[in-house]
């Protein structure tokens, strides 16, 4: 087993954690997915510096730097620099229970009535908007959005009862969840962004609740669109010392043969 195998195993163990961490810092799905790929690439490049312990903290520090760099190109920003730092500092430890959260999510989803599971499938697998769902069901988009907010709140509440993630639910949890999902799906307006910022800033229970909804959004995407993969095949693999010497020997032999052939062909051409 080479050095890549245990490293890949560690990444595989932490990929959901890293995905949720980045989605919390970069709420836009495309931004978070691109940042995940970049984070994996940087982790791979720094494989020799990977600590034997505290891998989660090390990888999250690199993910945070990637998120910070990508943030510089966002307009408008999802939230202020102060809130970004607070979230980056506080949500990491809350993710320690994420694997339990992931396991319980599947059970809770299966307990939902079929119409509600179909509702989630249409929203997250088919990626239909509230307006599109409303048109097919002859319901106002506002009613569809309300029902989706209630369903998200029900799932989060059930998850938190069975797998507590941080402090108890804060006051106004329903509005916080609604605004969080609007931020995550890109439908939030300027006023909503300001209200969400006010609710989250310097408020640990609210930040934990925001993270619960980020984790739920990720779980729903993974359920219906597939879990985050590791782009290892596209990355440059570090060669062992033996592999480097074999490569050098092969290249040297190739150059010698090429020079010999060129010499022979050149002499024959001159003879003609």
More confident residue, 272 or 227: 227
Residues 90 and 109 in one domain: yes
Determine the Cα–Cα distance for residues 218 and 210; give it in Å rounded to an integer: 12
pLDDT in tens, 1-52: 444 577 788 888 889 999 999 999 999 999 999 999 999 999 988 888 888 7
Residues 160 and 263 in one domain: no
**Predicted local confidence at residue 253, as pLDDT:** 63
**Predicted local confidence at residue 53, as pLDDT:** 82
More confident residue, 230 or 168: 168
Question: Mean pLDDT over residues 161-166, rounded?
Answer: 89
Q: Residue 262 belongs to what domain range?
A: 243-272
Determine the Cα–Cα distance for residues 73 and 68; give it in Å rounded to an integer: 10
Q: How far apart are the first and last CA of the chain?
A: 56
Residues 125 and 196 in one domain: yes
**Predicted local confidence at residue 97, as pLDDT:** 84
Residues 169 and 264 in one domain: no
**Predicted local confidence at residue 112, as pLDDT:** 95
Residues 26 and 117 in one domain: yes
pLDDT of 230 strictly over 80: no
Residues 253 and 174 in one domain: no
**Predicted local confidence at residue 244, as pLDDT:** 47
Comparing CA positions, the residue from 157, 158, 156, 149 lying closest to residue 178 is 149
Residues 77 and 99 in one domain: yes
**Predicted local confidence at residue 186, as pLDDT:** 92
Label residue 234 by pLDDT band (50, 70, 90): very low
**Predicted local confidence at residue 267, as pLDDT:** 62
**Predicted local confidence at residue 256, as pLDDT:** 58
Comparing CA positions, the residue from 35, 1, 38, 36 lying closest to residue 15 is 36
Residues 171 and 88 in one domain: yes
Label residue 258 by pLDDT band (50, 70, 90): low
What Å distances lie between residue 78 and 25, 55, 65, 183, 269, CA to CA?
9, 28, 17, 7, 70
Question: Mean pLDDT over residues 95-115, rounded?
Answer: 90
Residues 167 and 249 in one domain: no
Residues 166 and 248 in one domain: no
Determine the Cα–Cα distance for residues 210 and 90; give it in Å rounded to an integer: 12
**Predicted local confidence at residue 263, as pLDDT:** 58
Q: In this prediction, what percent of the chain has a pLDDT beyond 70? A: 83
**Predicted local confidence at residue 238, as pLDDT:** 46
- The total of structural domains in the chain comes to 2
The residue assigned the tokens 């062909």 is: 265
Residues 202 and 225 in one domain: yes
More confident residue, 229 or 210: 210
Q: Can you list the alpha helix ranges (DSSP code H) found in the chain? A: 4-25, 29-45, 55-71, 81-94, 98-111, 114-124, 130-137, 141-162, 173-185, 190-200, 204-225, 241-271
Dig out the tokens for 130 from the structure: 């509230």
**Predicted local confidence at residue 255, as pLDDT:** 63
**Predicted local confidence at residue 257, as pLDDT:** 57
Residues 52 and 177 in one domain: yes
Tell me which of 135-149, 181-195, 243-257 is least confident.
243-257
């Amino acid at each position: 087993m080479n050095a890549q195998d245990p490293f890949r195993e560690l990444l595989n163990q932490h990929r959901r954690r890293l995905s949720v961490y980045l989605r919390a810092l970069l709420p836009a799905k495309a931004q978070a997915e691109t940042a995940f790929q970049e984070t994996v690439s940087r982790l791979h490049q720094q494989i020799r510096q990977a600590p034997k312990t505290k891998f989660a903290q090390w990888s999250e520090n690199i993910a945070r730097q990637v998120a910070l760099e990508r943030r510089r190109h966002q307009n408008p920003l999802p939230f202020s620099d102060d809130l970004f730092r607070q979230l980056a500092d506080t949500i990491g430890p809350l993710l320690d229970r994420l694997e339990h959260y992931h396991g319980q999510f599947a059970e809770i989803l299966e307990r939902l009535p079929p119409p509600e599971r179909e509702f989630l499938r249409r929203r997250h697998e088919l990626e239909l908007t509230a307006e599109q769902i409303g048109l097919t069901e002859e319901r106002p988009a506002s009613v569809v959005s309300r029902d989706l907010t209630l369903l998200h709140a029900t799932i989060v509440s059930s998850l938190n009862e069975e797998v507590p993630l941080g402090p108890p639910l804060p006051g106004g949890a329903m509005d916080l969840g609604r605004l969080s999902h609007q931020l995550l799906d890109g439908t939030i307006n300027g006023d909503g962004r300001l209200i969400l910022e006010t609710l989250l800033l310097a408020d640990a229970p609210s930040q934990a609740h925001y993270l619960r909804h980020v984790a739920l959004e990720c779980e729903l995407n993974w359920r219906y669109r597939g879990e985050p993969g590791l782009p290892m095949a596209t990355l440059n693999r570090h060669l062992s010392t033996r592999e480097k010497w074999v490569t050098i020997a092969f290249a040297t032999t190739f150059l010698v043969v090429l020079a010999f052939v060129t010499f022979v062909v050149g002499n024959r051409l001159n003879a003609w």
